[in-house]
Amino acid sequence: MPTQDDVLGYFNTLSNWGRWGEDDELGTLNHITDDVRLAAARAVRHGRSLSCAWEVAVPEEMERSTTTCPCAADMPGAENMPVPGFRNDRRWGFSNERLGIMFHGNTITHVDSPCHIFWDGTMYNGRSYSLVDTQTGSAWAAVTAAANGIITRGVLLDIAKVREVPWLEPGDGVFPEDLEEAERRQGVRVRSGDAVLLRTGGGRVRHKGGAAGGFTQAGWHASCLPWLYERQVALIGADTPQDVQPSGYDDVLMPVHAVSLVAMGLWLLDNCDLEACATTAAELGQWDFHLAVAPVRFAGTSGSPVNPIATF
């Protein structure tokens, strides 16, 4: 079990600063080479695709206008539209929405880019947090660095299945020995450029009782960080917001977020729904698949809502 000093030391020992050049904003996505993407395509053996995201719904206690607001329906008064063609076409109508979403947190499936977290006022590759402006967003390592998408081989490690429980309890950490036991049982090995998706069973809990509140959850323990670094993992995801909480470290509230994003440049995929993925993997006896994650190109943002698609 690493001590707090060990975890703080990860900011140096697991650092990828300068590894791909001083101007690199992709971080561990550099592990996804053309050969890795070709290998991901070869993981498609059944042609079955499924979503690993939660549907974005409006909570019942919120007014609809806080997230989506229909702006028009059936175009009444089209004759007043400035475009001439609209004035005569009364068979034509449309619906339209205005969206506003706070996607970071423990509900919406989203990707975190490296500019999401600072440590001692610094972002990935040594850039200052001052490059993030409240008006224009981040000028460094924003989600638009992944504008071409994250296309790689995904590997699902079903830790709840390994431990023979329906789900891990809040506060249960996942350790390197769990990862390797999952590899052994599932007959798969994580390799360079892979995306590793961690099933704790949190999705099953949420399907039964709704989104969990509070700040206690199962997830990656900080001791997994050297393992992820050595395996050259490009992206990690989980059916929780990644870090086990409590983390076990008084001075590092979310060590997986902090070390991954700031030191390693390791992108994160939070709040996945991995239940259908796990069921399909078990049915097919196949725990690797083609994974496609396409962030919306929001300029200067620290992440994006996403719909990760696994194709077996």
Enumerate helices (H) and strands (E) in the chain, giving the number of each: 9, 15
HEC profile of 228-288 = HHHCCCCEEEECCCCECECCCCCCCCCHHHHHHHHHHCCEEEECCCCHHHHHHHHHHCCCE
Contact 268, 262 (CB under 8 A): no
pLDDT in tens, 256-270: 999 999 999 999 999
Give the per-residue pLDDT at 98.
73
Rg of the chain on CA atoms, in Å: 21
72-76, 87-91, 168-172: which range is least confident on average?
Answer: 72-76
Report the candidate in 173, 276, 167 with the shortest Cα–Cα distance to residue 218.
173
Above 90 in pLDDT, residue 63? no
pLDDT in tens, 104-138: 999 999 999 999 999 999 999 999 999 999 999 99
Give the per-residue pLDDT at 22.
97
pLDDT in tens, 190-234: 999 999 999 999 999 999 986 656 689 999 999 999 999 999 999
Average pLDDT, the chain: 91
**Sequence-separated (6 or more) residues with CB below 8 Å from residue 220:** 173, 174, 198, 236, 238, 242, 243, 244, 256
Contact 261, 132 (CB under 8 A): no
The total number of residues shown for the chain amounts to: 312
Distance in angstroms (rounded) separating the CA atoms of residues 97 and 290: 32
Contact 40, 308 (CB under 8 A): no
Distance in angstroms (rounded) separating the CA atoms of residues 67 and 18: 40
* DSSP calls for 72-97: EES-TTGGG-SSHHHHH-TT---EEE
Give the per-residue pLDDT at 37.
98
3-class SS of residue 195: strand
Contact 221, 168 (CB under 8 A): no
3-class SS of residue 217: strand
Distance in angstroms (rounded) separating the CA atoms of residues 281 and 283: 5
Residue of 5 and 69 predicted with greater confidence = 5
